[in-house]
Structure formats: structure tokens, C-alpha cells
Amino acid sequence: MEQEPKKDNSEEDLKELEELEELKKVIKKIEKLQKEKQEQPRQRLIAIEFGGVFHHNRYINLVFNFILNFTFAFFVIELFNFANYKDIIYVAALMLVYSVFEELYKTYILMRQFPLVLKSFGTIFFFGYLLIFYILDQYVFVRTFNFVNGTLLAFFVLIFTLTRYLFSQLLRNYFRSRNMG
């Protein structure tokens, strides 16, 4: 009778050893997969502010950019009191005109001056946006929309551009992770 329990114990021990061997194999496979994953170079993109392309259809992209531009511009203007305006419709009109000029400017710069974009790390866009807002403020929306002064105009463009860029990156990353997983 003493040998039977030993036989059961030895069978149990063999089963446990087999299970341990299987677990070791699984762990090795997992480690191998992790090493392969780490060895694969991550595709890094140069993060230069291209202004964002959210849709391949140019008109849908323009509408989406207008909505985003209007939302962020209005938020920044109201939060920091960078500008005075008669009515919210003038802010919307300003942002619509800005969105069209921005799209034209981005297309021109990316098609004709791409090396300049790379050399300037995208700051060429900031100065272009600054110029667009300055022209719209001083020559188009003269009586209906005015930045308080030139310094606040520069700070507005800086804050506006950064918040819009950060939001667009978060939005893209969200959609990429949602589509990948």
C-alpha cells in the first residue's frame, strides 16, 4: 500500500513536470515575441506642423479645419481677451476666410518650398499664419474684428497653433489606436 501512493505521487509529479515544461515553452515563446517586437524599428514620423489633413476629400478637410479653427480661435480669444469683435458671426467669418487662406498657403509651401519646411522645422507655417491673421485684422475685418495689439496677435497665433496641433495629434492617435485595435 505504501507503493501505490508513491506511484500516484510520481504520476502527479510527472504531470506537474510536463505542465512546467509546457509553461516554460510558452514563456520562451512570449519572450521571443517580445524581443522581436523590440527589435522592430518603430516608425517614427518627423513631427512638423503641416496643419493637419483629416480627410482625403479637400472640401471635407476644409470644413473640418474651419470647425476646428473657429472653436479653438474663439476659445483662445475669449479665454485671454486677445481681440475685440462686434459679433460672433464676424469671428466665424474671419476663421472661414483664414481657413481658406491657410489651406492655400499650406498647399503652396508644401508643394513648392518643402525643403524650407524641413529646414525651419515647420516654423515657416507659424510666420505664415501670423501674416494671414495680420492682413485679415488690418485690411479685411477693419471695423468688426481687431486684435488688441501686435504682441497679443503673436501670442494668439502661438497659442492657437499649439492647441490646434496638440488636439489634432491627440485626435489622430485616438483614431489610429481605435482602427488598429
Cell digits for 168? 489634432
Please tell me the predicted confidence (pLDDT) of residue 91.
97
Same domain assignment for residues 69 and 13: no
Same domain assignment for residues 81 and 155: yes
Residues 6+ apart with CB under 8 A from 99: 62, 65, 66, 69
Mean pLDDT lowest among 1-10, 17-26, 93-102: 1-10
Same domain assignment for residues 69 and 119: yes
Please tell me the predicted confidence (pLDDT) of residue 50.
45
Question: Looking at this protein, which amino acid is placed at residue 110?
Answer: L
- Cα-Cα-Cα-Cα dihedral of 12, 14, 17, 22, to 10°? -100
Same domain assignment for residues 125 and 88: yes
The answer to the question of residue 51 being in a domain is no
The answer to the question of residue 49 being in a domain is no
- How far apart (Å, rounded) are the C-alpha atoms in residues 101 and 57? 17
DSSP 52: -
Same domain assignment for residues 70 and 93: yes
The answer to the question of residue 53 being in a domain is no
- Domain region containing 19: 1-44
Residues 6+ apart with CB under 8 A from 167: 68, 72
Same domain assignment for residues 67 and 13: no
Between 50 and 176, name the one with better pLDDT.
176
The answer to the question of residue 139 being in a domain is yes
The b/e string for 39-70 (b: 16+ C-beta within 10 A; e otherwise) is eeeeeeeeeebebbebeeeeeebbebbbebbb
Total length of the chain = 181
What is the band of 165 on the pLDDT scale with cuts at 50, 70, 90?
Answer: confident
Same domain assignment for residues 132 and 165: yes
- State mean pLDDT over 25-30: 80
The answer to whether residue 49 scores a pLDDT higher than 50 is: no
Residues 6+ apart with CB under 8 A from 73: 91, 94, 95, 98, 156, 160
The answer to whether residue 134 scores a pLDDT higher than 70 is: yes
The answer to the question of residue 7 being in a domain is yes
The answer to whether residue 70 scores a pLDDT higher than 90 is: yes
Same domain assignment for residues 75 and 129: yes
Same domain assignment for residues 63 and 126: yes
Same domain assignment for residues 33 and 105: no
Same domain assignment for residues 62 and 122: yes
Same domain assignment for residues 115 and 31: no
Please tell me the predicted confidence (pLDDT) of residue 168.
80
The answer to the question of residue 50 being in a domain is no
The answer to whether residue 142 scores a pLDDT higher than 50 is: yes
- What is the tally of structural domains in the chain? 2
